[in-house]
């Protein structure tokens, strides 16, 4: 009887840990690298751009930010005032600003080439106890999920985003057209929120504990007269 109680205790412990992993707060678990790629360069300088900057785990909430926000580094040096890429919970936040106004159209000024768009490539995405399976994207001021948008096109913000692997996301910079704001073209911007969708993945130790409790009970049942 005591052995059965022990096995039941192990089984119960494994189930508890598994349930805890399902409900745990999803947070980024490691350093994240932001790469700025513009195969066609800029509207006023067609030299290709390929720069990267790694954000330490402890600094994810600050992220990569423009110099006027206190940022420094290869990607920060190319950012317009108030632009930034930062991370919180299981969400990526991007503020993109207008850098070119050719023909009265406000764009970032970053150019793609040969079918490859200008983009941020964000890699090293890992969430504790979770597997990244998809995303939802918004383009409302204040990184909100509703309200006023600074994005004129594309009509669907999610079309700018591509999950190229479970740990890497691409954000298209060359397809953005900004809504004209009252402050004039130099003040045009949009704020994007990308919420990552995940599936719980219990730690191997959790499955092991669960198996240790369940297997002996199954074996005992199989040998019962």
Examine the domain organization and report whether 156 and 218 are in the same domain.
Answer: no
**pLDDT at residue 194 greater than cutoff 80:** yes
Examine the domain organization and report whether 110 and 210 are in the same domain.
Answer: no
Residue 172: C-alpha distances to residues 24, 47, 178 (Å): 31, 18, 14
pLDDT given at position 88: 95
Examine the domain organization and report whether 140 and 194 are in the same domain.
Answer: yes
Examine the domain organization and report whether 91 and 170 are in the same domain.
Answer: yes
Examine the domain organization and report whether 13 and 42 are in the same domain.
Answer: no
Range of the domain at 17: 2-23+204-222
Examine the domain organization and report whether 79 and 117 are in the same domain.
Answer: yes
Examine the domain organization and report whether 189 and 215 are in the same domain.
Answer: no
pTM of the model: 0.81
Examine the domain organization and report whether 130 and 218 are in the same domain.
Answer: no
Distance of alpha carbon 30 from its chain centroid, rounded?
A: 12
**pLDDT at residue 195 greater than cutoff 90:** yes
Examine the domain organization and report whether 130 and 106 are in the same domain.
Answer: yes
What is the number of structural domains in the chain?
2
Q: Residues 6 or more apart from 163 whose CB is under 8 A from it?
A: 132, 134, 135, 169, 170
pLDDT given at position 160: 98
pLDDT given at position 20: 42
Examine the domain organization and report whether 63 and 131 are in the same domain.
Answer: yes
> What would the two tokens of residue 185 be?
């073209």
Examine the domain organization and report whether 75 and 17 are in the same domain.
Answer: no
pLDDT given at position 45: 96
Peptide bond into 193 cis (omega under 30): no
Examine the domain organization and report whether 36 and 133 are in the same domain.
Answer: yes
């Amino acid at each position: 009887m005591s052995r059965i109680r022990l096995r039941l205790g192990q089984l119960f412990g494994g189930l508890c840990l598994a349930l805890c992993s399902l409900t745990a707060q999803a947070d980024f678990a490691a350093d994240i690298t932001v790469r700025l790629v513009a195969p066609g360069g800029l509207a006023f300088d067609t030299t290709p751009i390929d720069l990267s900057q790694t954000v330490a785990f402890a600094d994810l909430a600050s992220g990569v930010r423009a110099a006027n926000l206190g940022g420094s580094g290869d990607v920060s040096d190319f950012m317009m005032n108030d632009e930034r890429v930062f991370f919180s919970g299981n969400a990526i936040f991007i503020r993109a600003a207008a850098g070119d106004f050719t023909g009265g159209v406000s764009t970032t000024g970053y150019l793609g080439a040969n079918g490859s768009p200008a983009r941020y490539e964000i890699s090293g995405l890992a969430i504790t106890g979770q597997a990244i399976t998809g995303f939802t994207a918004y383009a409302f001021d204040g990184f909100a999920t509703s309200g006023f948008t600074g994005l004129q096109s594309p009509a669907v913000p999610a079309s700018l985003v591509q999950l190229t692997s479970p740990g890497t996301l691409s954000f298209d910079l060359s397809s953005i057209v900004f809504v004209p704001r009252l402050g004039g073209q130099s003040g045009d911007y949009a704020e994007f929120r990308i919420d990552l969708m995940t599936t719980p993945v219990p730690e191997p130790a959790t499955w092991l504990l669960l198996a240790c409790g369940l297997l002996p009970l199954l074996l005992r049942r199989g040998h019962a007269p």
